[in-house]
Amino acid sequence: MREKQWCTAELPVAVAQFTVARGPERNLEIIDGFAGEAVAQGARLLVLPEGLIARNGDDDAFAAAHAQPLDGPFVSGLKAISAKRNITLMGTVHVAPAEGSADARVSNVFLAIRDGEIMAAYRKLHLYDAFAAKESAVVKPGETLPSIIDIDGWRVGVMTCYDVRFPETARSLAVRGADAIVVAAAWVRGPLKEYHWKLMTTARAVENTCYVLACSEISSRNIGCSRIISPLGEVLSESGDNAAELIAANLDRNALESARQILPVLSNRRFVDPQLR
């Protein structure tokens, strides 16, 4: 069991769904606008979608083609926004391979940025090779479990889009002490896809008694439907499927501890995988 530490009773959070533009500079302007709005509402964390640098409709290769290094201008812009607005930013960017790399594919990297610094960088484990898509053609998978970041004493784990279909990923975060799980996504529209998104984001919250903050890009291709869910599956805030929007909620420590007392699934586990202790 992890040691007790200082923690705020509530953590104000915000989730910004929007259409990622073709130009990186425009996307930084959009993010800065949402960050200003989130801070005005008291938020300490702003969750952003997947693939923030550039998008172009149904062209899956477009985001990869506009990948930048972690020390490139786009991530530098995110650092500047986090420092100026005094807020933690979370979302994913496509990162170019190192010069001379034998693998020309990019990485889909989930970043947590605070005070102008990268606090964590998680490379997406599960690539979207499903529903006729082939993300692995342009993106290489990560090899390590997702990170957990401390925000005002709250332990926040991260996942990227297709990761949410793999319950062991979320469980690994919960058993390592996550109080909340952030999902950055570009969830593709299609038959039953909105239903899957809502079902699985709620399931990941309830089965792990964690808050879930799920953000999807909104476009003609992707569903939006961003949401903030309590540890017992209550939807605290939710956006629609046709517009850019900022949603917000307070994560409540008492509600989290109460949920884990009445539904002690984490302590009742049996036949535990050693990797998920």
Which active-site residues does the annotation give?
50, 124, 161
Q: In what order do the strands lie in the sheet with 148-151?
A: 148-151, 154-160, 180-185, 211-216, 227-229, 235-238
- Torsion sign, CA atoms 167, 141, 230, 258: positive
Scan for tokens 């200082």, then name that residue.
6
Scan for tokens 């003609």, then name that residue.
220
**CB within 8 A of 199, min separation 6: which ones?**
none
Contact 259, 209 (CB under 8 A): yes
- Rounded CA-CA distance 188/227 in Å is 16
- Rounded CA-CA distance 260/250 in Å is 18
- Rounded CA-CA distance 122/144 in Å is 8
**CB within 8 A of 243, min separation 6: which ones?**
218, 224
Contact 110, 119 (CB under 8 A): no
Contact 213, 47 (CB under 8 A): yes
- Which one-letter DSSP state was computed for residue 248? E
CA dihedral 42, 43, 49, 51 (to 10 degrees): 100
